[in-house]
Amino acid sequence: MIRALLEELRLSEEEMGPLRRVLPGPEPELTLPADGDGAGDVARDGNGAGAGRRLLRVCDTLLDGNELRYLTECIESNWISSAGRFVSAFEERFAAAVGCAHGIACASGTAALHLALAALGIGPDDEVIVPTFTMIATANAVTYTGARVVLVDALSESWNLDVAQVEAKITPRTRAIVAVHTYGHPADMAPLREIAGRHGLALLEDAAEAHGAAYRGAAVGSLGDAAVFSFYGNKIVTTGEGGMVTTNDERLARTARRLRDHAFSADRHFWHGYLGFNYRMSNLQAAVGLAQAERLPQLVAARRRNAESYRRRLAALPGLTLPGERPEVVNVFWMYALLVEDEFGCSRDDLRRRLAGRGIETRTFFIPVHLQPIYFRRHRGEPYPVAEELCRKGLYLPSGPTLREDEIDLVAREVARSGRAAAGA
Ligand SMILES: Cc1ncc(COP(=O)(O)O)c(C=O)c1O
């Protein structure tokens, strides 16, 4: 079995040397410019802070539907733990929206990943293929099961896993493939399904960032044996913290449901025939989740509208690679993510610093799994050039559902100004 690290794992100077070219610099300080200094500031609204306008965060939340009403019902009825009507109502509503018969609400997306892998029977001595370009939770959930993480590189077009590399990584120990729908763009599921079917592997979707996305007309979440979603505060549907497993496989759903709740036995309380977890979602979280799920189309439309507004303003700027949308998918642009190419005029980190000084928050792309201290030594020497370039060049801009057109305009103008200023300097 695995043992948690009780001391931070630090890479040596010799190990860190080549990584420094790729790793992002320190987080820049986010400050609003002094009033009226020529940036074309937009007027402050109710969320405002500082002199002329609000800080433009990478993501904010929109909680002005039924969220408060449902939460109040939880408090007034005293149903605040995982019993209560909202958990099953949220599960049913969300699962139906992604075309699945079953939804198993969890404490987080990471818990949902672990739960799904456990319910699929993944354990020690197994191998699971995951993209190296993902949030570390995808790989960690595999590690929690005791299975070994096997990595594949990303595609430079969609930033999703390179399906052509998957087959070469399959061994007699391989049990599953996890496809991540990165930043809201669905992975190429048809060839993955074909490979998984031919080799008898489970196919799990990590749809943590892709609520409402679709592939060949079908919603993500219904495209593999099971899928997982995250409802962390910056996700398209949020419960603050939370996650869900969706599946059409009744047996899998039953096992996941049972493992989620300490694997309590149905006919004798405090009798446990499996090693279970407590990964339950509370009624409070599910109350927020149900209200959010009721307006999933609106929340997705806001992300897509933001993306179109950014695209119109940034497409002509030299040195930026904007996010794509393959013809067979609906990309939900969870975050408006782009690459700052070497021709842009300034580096990705310089651009971030300039924007931060104008009150515009950005976030760098994931640091690939194979460069993370806890995975580095095991994967040392494995080449993942695309993921490393994404890590070096990528950032995402403010992308939340409350972003206004004039705010997107401001961000785009500041991006353009940074490029021009650096080029003309
Ligand atoms: C691709 C991906 N997988 C898994 C997770 C984990 O979700 P959570 O933070 O809810 O545990 C995230 C979270 O941000 C993610 O982006």
pLDDT in tens, 124-152: 999 999 999 999 999 999 999 999 999 99
Crossing angle (nearest 10°) for helices 348-357 and 405-424: 130
Residue position matching structure tokens 């599921």 = 189
Q: Whose CA is nearest to atom 8 of ligand 1?
A: 109
CA distance linking residue 372 with residue 9, whole number of Å: 10
Residue 335 CA, ligand 1 centroid: distance in Å: 13
Whether ligand 1 lies within 6 angstroms of the CB of 134 is answered as yes
Atom of ligand 1 nearest to the CA of 242: 10
CB neighbour list of residue 198: distance below 8 Å, 6 or more residues apart = none
CB contact at 8 A, 256 and 116: yes
> Residue 47 pLDDT > 70, yes or no?
no
> Which residues sit opposite 149 in a β-bridge?
128
pLDDT of 45 = 44
The 394-397 sheet, strands edge to edge: 320-321, 336-340, 394-397, 363-364
The pLDDT tens digits of the residues spanning 316-334 come to 999 999 999 999 999 999 9
Using the atom order of ligand 1, give the atom closest to the CA of residue 234: 14
What pLDDT sits at residue 86?
98
Q: Which of 230, 285, 364 to mutate to test the pocket of ligand 1 (most atoms within 8 A of CB)?
A: 230
Place of tokens 């969870």: 334
Tell me the three state secondary structure of residue 322.
Answer: coil
Ligand 1 neighbour 209 (Cβ under 6 A): yes
Residue 1 is predicted with a pLDDT of 55
208 CA distance to ligand 1 centroid (A)?
5
Using pLDDT thresholds of 50, 70 and 90, give the confidence band for residue 38. Answer: very low
- Does the C-beta of 182 come closer than 6 Å to ligand 1? no
Q: Among residues of the chain, what percentage have pLDDT more than 70?
A: 94
109 lines ligand 1 (CB under 6 A): yes
Q: Decide: 292 in ligand 1 pocket, CB within 6 A.
A: no
Predicted confidence at residue 33, as pLDDT, reads: 87
Pick the atom of ligand 1 nearest to 231's CA. 10
Confidence at 37, pLDDT banded by 50, 70, 90: very low
* Ligand 1 within 6 A of CB of 243: yes
Categorize the per-residue pLDDT at 52 as very low, low, confident or very high, splitting at 50, 70 and 90: low
pLDDT of residue 334: 98
Q: What is the arithmetic mean of pLDDT over 241-270?
A: 96
What does the pLDDT read at residue 44? 47
- pLDDT for the residue 419: 86
Determine the residue of 110, 178, 180, 390 to mutate for testing ligand 1's pocket, defined as the one with the most ligand atoms within 8 A of the Cβ atom: 110
The protein residue with its alpha carbon nearest to ligand 1, atom 10, reads: 109
Sheet of 218-219, strand order: 218-219, 214-215, 329-330
User: pLDDT at residue 164 above 60?
Assistant: yes
* Mean pLDDT of all residues in 210-225: 98
- For atom 7 of ligand 1, which residue has the closest CA? 109
Sign of the alpha-carbon dihedral angle for 153, 215, 210, 257: negative
Give bridge partners of residue 264 from the DSSP assignment: 272
Determine the pLDDT at residue 275.
Answer: 95
Report which ligand 1 atom has the smallest distance to the Cα of 209.
16
pLDDT (0 to 100) of residue 39 = 44
Work out the pLDDT band at 202, boundaries 50, 70, 90.
very high
For position 53, what pLDDT does the model report? 82
Element containing residue 355 per DSSP (H, E): helix 348-357
- Report the pLDDT averaged over residues 378-383: 96
Q: In whole angstroms, what is the distance from residue 147 CA to residue 39 CA?
A: 52
Question: Which ligand 1 atom minimizes the distance to the CA of 113?
Answer: 4
Residue 232, ligand 1, Cβ within 6 A: yes
Q: What does the pLDDT read at residue 118?
A: 98
pTM for this predicted structure: 0.95
Average confidence (pLDDT) over 18-30: 95
Please provide the distance, in angstroms rounded to a whole number, between the alpha carbons at the two ends of the chain: 56
Residue pLDDT, tens place only, 344-370? 999 999 999 999 999 999 999 999 999
Distance CA 118, CA 276 (A): 9
For residue 18, the number of C-alpha atoms closer than 13 Å in the C-beta half-sphere is 9
Cα–Cα–Cα angle for 361, 288, 238, rounded to 5 degrees: 35
